[in-house]
Structure 1
Amino acid sequence: MNDTGGPALLLSAADVPPVHEFNVEGRSPFLLTCDHYGRLIPRLLGDLGLPESELERHIAWDIGIAGVAEALSKHLDAHLIVQRYSRLVIDCNRPPHAASSIPLISEATTIPGNEGLSRETAATRRAQIFDPYHRRIDDIIDQRGNAGRPTVLVSLHSFTPVYAGIARPWHIGTLYHRDTHLPPLLLKLLRAEGDLVVGDNEPYAVSDETDYTIPVHGEARGLMNTGIEIRQDLISDFAGENAWAERLARILREIEVMLRLV
């Protein structure tokens, strides 16, 4: 599948908007985001040339994190902003200039629908999916700031138990770059749980070259921030999703008190 569509044709009236929100009136200082919440593909793009089995895998979305994010939003009374389209269409946690923004290969899978894209079509994917999501996050941070409300950015993700044949031991990881306030507290409290293997910038580390949400919305705006990665086999069903949401809500409430955000 090659580039055949004009720039105005990516999302039609039959496609849902890329941005979805939960608990918009939530009073928590934590603002939750979920870059890889969904695995939708615009109808114009069909299946990107992939079988359904590939579109159900981690290459298309962060398995399990949608349920965790929604439950955590309820438990914390926190505003949650999510992005519904697959990262195979455009990755909303990659700088648009990065090669992985619209991947030609994800892990070992070639993405036929991303081959031969013109600059105009790549720009359309950004304009209709990436930009509205990040513009909404910006707008909400502005609104909260204008209202004198504190904002702590928490970006939610999940990771595969095995990558490139290597098992990953961590149950959960904290991801960060420049913030020296929130991530150490979160790391300390997670490790104090006693039953967790906790990654310190594992299985990934945040950087300006590989990430977008935390560098742009957290660090550049001077907000306390952290990424959270949960191993997917732990959140593969409703019970796991809710158990992790309850645990994170309890820990984040404790951090809220420690940081005097209440």
Structure 2
Amino acid sequence: MTIADDSLRVPGAARLPSLLGADEPSAFTVAHADGRSPFVLICDHAGQRLPRALGDLGVSATELQRHIAWDIGAAGLARELARRLDAFVITQPWSRLVIDCNRPPSAPGSIVTRSEHTDIPGNRNLSAHDAQARVREIFEPYHARVAAELDRRALAKRPTILVSVHSFTPVYAGVARPWHLGVLYHRDARVAQALLALMREDGRWVVGDNEPYTVSDATDYAIPVHGERRGLPHVELEVRQDLISYSAGQAEWAERLAGWLVRLPDFGDPG
């Protein structure tokens, strides 16, 4: 069962003018809420929707289909992976051009005015009020729901492994990327190193070790906050978009990733 959950609202939100209309999707969708596996899957860049109040942000429909607006294929991959693992999964449907839910709100990349070679006119000269509305109605409820699930599992003393699912474009700024997938981490490499070993043992794939991106406190939110601060085993997975831009590719890669994930070692008592 998949639900769009409006039960978590940031205090004070109802007293301020709303960015999202009452008939628009909430900041997140949860599926497999009662999943029995230790995995919790999150997908920060699952969608490309723009709130009606923002129009098209001055960006063409063609550009809004590109990777600048969302992680192409990541939502389908996350849902397929959750089904195979029997895992809780939460996806965030609003475009990262509205607000990037894997950036601290104070980071320059939180609300961009240019992405790769595309200007985002609707993000220029935002007032503090307008920027905060995006934080309040999209960023905070999404991360509050992730935190609530992790709190629930901690209270129940359930083993938990956090997996953040993303995708990356095959070519960025004119430079081709050779990796089929990437395994990302920061201070805690427990899950990443175990996965890298399994993936390389397979022998068929070019796997990036903290490629094509790296994780840092300055530029990332989910892994530092939900993974590292809690001491949870965690990893960020990146799969190249041409491999998962269609349903059969998502199913194929979900099956492959699930096969690796279920072979991970026991990372110990959640405390």
Q: Give me the TM-score of the superposition, normalised by structure 2.
A: 0.92
Displacement of 1:180 in angstroms is 2.7
Select 2:152's aligned residue among 133, 136, 143. 143
Q: Deviations over 1:218-243 (max 9, x none)?
A: 00111011100000011121111100
Identity in percent: 56
Select 1:120's aligned residue among 116, 129, 137. 129
Q: Deviations over 1:169-220 (max 9, x none)?
A: 0000000001131110011111111110000000001000110000000001
Displacement of 1:14 in angstroms is 2.1
Q: Following superposition of structure 1 onto structure 2, how do residues 172-211 of structure 1 map, counting pairs within 5 Å?
A: 172-211=181-220
**8 Å contact kept, 1:10–1:125:** yes
The residue matched to 2:255 in structure 1 has which SS?
Answer: helix
> Residues of 1 paired with 2:266 and 2:261: CA distance?
10
Matching residue of 1:164 = 173
> Residues of 2 paired with 1:9 and 1:224: CA distance?
36
Select 2:223's aligned residue among 192, 206, 214. 214
1:80 is aligned to 2:89: yes
> Residues of 1 paired with 2:104 and 2:150: CA distance?
20
Matching residue of 1:234 = 243
Count matched residues: 255
Matching residue of 1:251 = 260
> Structure 2: which 5+ residue stretches go unaligned?
1-14
Matching residue of 2:35 = 26
**8 Å contact kept, 1:9–1:44:** no
* One-letter amino acid of the structure 1 residue matched with residue 25 of structure 2: V
Displacement of 1:258 in angstroms is 4.9
Q: Give me the TM-score of the superposition, normalised by structure 1.
A: 0.95
The residue matched to 1:61 in structure 2 has which SS?
Answer: coil
The RMSD of aligned alpha carbons is 1.3
